[in-house]
Chain A
Amino acid sequence: MEIIEKIKNNKSDDNLTEIQKICFHKLQSNPLPNPKSELWRLSNKSKLSTFLDYSVNEKDSKFDIPYPKNSQSTIRLIIGENCQIKLIEKDYSIQQLSEDELQKYIKEQISFFKQNENWSDLLNLYLSCKNNILGLIINGSKIPPIEIFSHASSNSLNAKTLVIFLEKNCDIELLQVNLGKENSSLSQSTFFCLKENSSVNHGVVSYGENRSNLLNSLNVIQQKNSSYNLGSLHFKFNYARFEINIKQSAGNAKTNIKGMQITKKDEQISTYTKIEFNGPNGFLDQINKSLADDKSHAIFEGSIIVPKIAQRTDASQLSRNLLLSNLAQIDTKPQLEIIADDVKCKHGATISQLNEEELFYMRTRGITLTEASKLQLSSYFQEIISFIPISKDKWDLLDKLLNEN
């Protein structure tokens, strides 16, 4: 863990940016997260140290997007490659955030960060060099769908940061794709700021190849009357952590989250979500699905925080889990912390295997067991995949998931 040693021994490089320096100092007293804390206690320590073992790569080799473009109008960006973005059309504009704005915003965010809770972000911002930070400001209407790619090359650790400001009354579809090559580590932090009346359909698809690792963190701030929909899918990572922090800064906003993680072999994939309502009339509908097979481990921890100010909040959270093997394990912990009294909050969690009665029914109709379980799984997956915007059909995500089973 060369990176951690460096932080510990106070060996900072001279050419660090201001942000990198701040994060470096924040991490210095405790360069690693506290393994006993609720957020990290289930995390596989040796896998995390594998993540940190690769040396940091700031310049990527050329990256070819492995998927066909859905339609000509789709805007495709690659973090670390697109140096200048300035798209000004009749109805909309997509521009790069100025250096100052970007710095100011990130610094403000960092000031709220705690070493343990936001460790992934602090590490990411410490490792992200200037080229690997992409800041966008999006304005206007009739904006074509956007795809943003982030990837890690083999035998290295890549850190990428994405900051998006969505101006008032703006409405976008955005798909973020995180790809891990063989034996690689990718650290991805995304910051989303939704202004009033804006709306996003956000998709996050992360998938790796052999023994790739991922630390993916997503921070969303929603202003009044904004609506944020997230469909996410994480699979094929030796170790992956997806941390979602959503804050409805003044309430009156809508959040929909549908996430899924699939683990096989000895993989460990975890999702941690924290949703805070800092104003009244907030709405949340969240479902998280996990599927664990072979010797793998899937983890979900979701917390919903409703302070006194957040009256009339309506929040629901559901964790559904499929455990398919004797050696796999699933941990789930949906939690509610409520002070406001006029609220509707509920959560549910289930862990089981494929429904035997349904399997039996299909088999009596002449469908083989393999086919029947595929059918069941496909309906299990479909709910989430259909929620991921753009490209969802072209990529045949469902086929990919099912055929690897």
Chain B
Amino acid sequence: MVNENLVKDVVKEPYKYGFVTDIETEKIEKGLNEDIIKLISQKKEEPKFLLDFRLKAFKKWQKMKEPDWAALGYKKIDYQDIIYYSAPKQKEKISSLDEVDPKLLETFDKLGIPLTEQKKLTNVAVDAVFDSVSIATTFREELAEHGVIFCSISEAVKNHADLIEKYLGTVVPASDNYFAALNSAVFSDGSFVYIPKGVTCPMDLSSYFRINSGDSGQFERTLIIAEESSSVSYLEGCTAPMFDTNTLHAAVVELIALDDASIKYSTVQNWYAGDEEGIGGIFNFVTKRGKCLGKRSKISWSQVETGSAITWKYPSCLLLGEESVGEFYSVALTNNLQQADTGTKMIHIGPKTKSTIVSKGISAGNSKNSYRGLVKMGTKATGSRNYSQCDSMLIGDQASANTFPYIKSQQPNSEIEHEASTCRISEDQLFYLQSRGIDFEEAVSMMVSGFCRDVFNQLPMEFAAEADKLLALKLEGSVG
């Protein structure tokens, strides 16, 4: 028998991004009402259409009920006890990185995201979001040469209002769900990417989200538009300090791919997950959706979810264009008292559309890990195909793994295949590895990494290595 305690010891690595940056911040008062929304809009000097968009969303949100269908249990969120805008105080306008508060730069340095161009990450442009605002975006000039727009959404609202007005809320409408409506009403910042026709983005783009204060929520919004025959790979990373209160994170991500365009969106989510007793941690309610509008367009989601006390996240693809392709590759790891209800939706609307879902869930400790997915073939989706595979691995006898795939077909000339399995770390394999001189912890992490290989193969280079390491760290002490 594998030693239970040994395995438990494998997941106990402390959260190393849990520090707080002591920095003067500008916060508005707690609570949510029309005046607060007007205040946020005013602070960001937004055009009228956006304020109207926010107010309309707020009205809808007020009429909506918080969803309770997910297999999650958490204490009720008091939406009036949250600060909806918090920004580090800095000089009025930043013209170059030199003017950014060194403390902020230091924070991102500590997180392994250097923003100063001398130390720049090789060939990755970064947009760093701290609480409610974007601090800096690197490599802008170089990207501009190719016509690529990569900036914070607040800047885009000022400089590219036409694009924002045209696309914002077209993939995730304000009334889509409770958390999307909340985000639409109060979103403070996020990233905006526009890839013009025929351009292959010369480098990977990346956003780094950092929650710093304990009482403010983060509500960012990302919008990526890939014009005809363009392509882009986008990475997203998240961390937060350790607080014993729960912080709300409700983001919306919208992707639009036109004819022959391709968007690859990768996430490594490592929000603070709370301690072993389940105190503190981020409540992560995210709506991510991509629209394959054009013919032969492609949207690929890959995610590694290791953090958050609560994860509620279903990156989806609306496959409208003929022969468009949707992909979803996910690894979700839960430990201690974490709860994750995550999966995807593949809505096949256009003919000859294809989608692939590969989901790997690992639950350890007392955690709960659910896969919830929808595959739908509409009446016009002739010749469409879907393949889904969701595997769960259970570590310890207290963790639970659930699978809820919803499959619906209205098109006889289409094919759907779904398979799911649940297993544990095989003792034979462990024994074999140990008999070859590999120590227990390494053997476990090798096996977990092997279990997730299908997904890791889809991650961009920089992330794949990080994800592997992250998983090994998170699992330290938990396998038994």
Contacts and interface: CB of A to CB of B under 8 A. Distances in A.
Interface of A: 308, 311, 321, 323-326, 328-353
B420 A348 contact: yes
15 contacts: A308-B397, A326-B411, A328-B412, A330-B408, A331-B406, A334-B420, A335-B405, A336-B422, A339-B398, A346-B422, A348-B418, A350-B415, A350-B416, A350-B417, A351-B409
Contacts of B19: none
B64 interface: no
Contacts of B394: 338, 340-341, 343
B79 to A, nearest CB: 24
A341 B420 CA distance: 16
A324 B401 contact: no
B86 interface: no
Contact of B420 (A331, A339, A346): A346
Contact of B422 (A324, A334, A338, A353): A338
A345 B412 contact: no
Contacts of B405: 333-335, 349
B415 A333 contact: no
Nearest to A322: B412
A339 B426 CA distance: 17
B419 A348 contact: yes
Nearest to B427: A342
Contact of A353 (B392, B406, B413): B413
Interface string B412-448: 1111111111111000000000000000000000000
Interface string B118-142: 0000000000000000000000000
B367 to A, nearest CB: 11
B413 A341 contact: no
Given A329-B408, A341-B424, A353-B412, A335 B419 contact: no
Contacts of B395: 341
A186 to B, nearest CB: 28
B404 interface: yes
Contacts of B404: 333, 335
A339 B416 contact: no
B403 A347 contact: yes
Nearest to B392: A338
B62 interface: no
A102 B157 CA distance: 73
Contacts of A341: 394-397, 399, 424
Contacts of B377: 351
Contacts of B421: 345-346
Q: Determine the interface band of chain B, counting residues with CB < 8 A from chain A.
A: 20 to 34
B407 interface: yes
Nearest to A332: B407
Contact of B419 (A328, A337, A347): A347
B128 to A, nearest CB: 40
Interface string B371-414: 00000010100000000000010111111111111111111111
B409 A329 contact: yes
A195 B396 CA distance: 33
Contacts of A333: 404-407
Contacts of A350: 415-418
B401 A336 contact: yes
B8 to A, nearest CB: 13
A335 B403 contact: yes
B407 A329 contact: no
Contact of B423 (A323, A328, A331, A344): A344
A349 B375 CA distance: 11
Contacts of A340: 394, 397
A336 B412 contact: no
Contacts of B379: 326
Given A335-B403, A349-B417, A350-B418, 17 more contacts: A321-B409, A323-B410, A323-B411, A328-B410, A328-B412, A331-B406, A331-B407, A334-B418, A338-B401, A341-B424, A347-B419, A349-B405, A349-B416, A351-B407, A351-B416, A352-B414, A352-B416
A337 B414 CA distance: 29
B424 A342 contact: yes
A211 to B, nearest CB: 24
Contact of B402 (A308, A330, A331, A337): A337
Interface in B238-267: none
Contacts of A348: 417-420
Contacts of A343: 394, 422, 424
Contacts of A326: 379, 410-412
Contacts of B418: 334, 347-350
Contact of A347 (B401, B413, B416, B420): B420
A339 B397 contact: yes
Contacts of A347: 403, 418-420
A336 B403 contact: yes
Contacts of A335: 402-405
Contacts of A346: 419-422
B409 A311 contact: no
Contacts of A353: 412-413
A348 B416 CA distance: 10
A12 B451 CA distance: 60
Nearest to A340: B397
Contact of A311 (B397, B411, B413, B423): B397
Contacts of A334: 403, 405, 418, 420
10 closest A-B pairs by CB? A341-B394, A346-B421, A349-B418, A323-B412, A345-B422, A339-B400, A351-B416, A351-B409, A348-B419, A336-B403
A338 B416 contact: no
Given A335-B403, A346-B421, A351 B397 contact: no
Contacts of B407: 330-333, 349, 351
A311 B397 CA distance: 9
A331 B418 CA distance: 13
A210 B172 CA distance: 45
A311 B421 CA distance: 16
Among A308, A324, A340, A341, find the residue whose CB has the most chain B CB atoms closer than 10 A.
Answer: A341
A38 B141 CA distance: 52
Contacts of B408: 329-332
A324 to B, nearest CB: 6
A331 B374 CA distance: 11
Given A336-B422, A347-B403, A330 B409 contact: yes
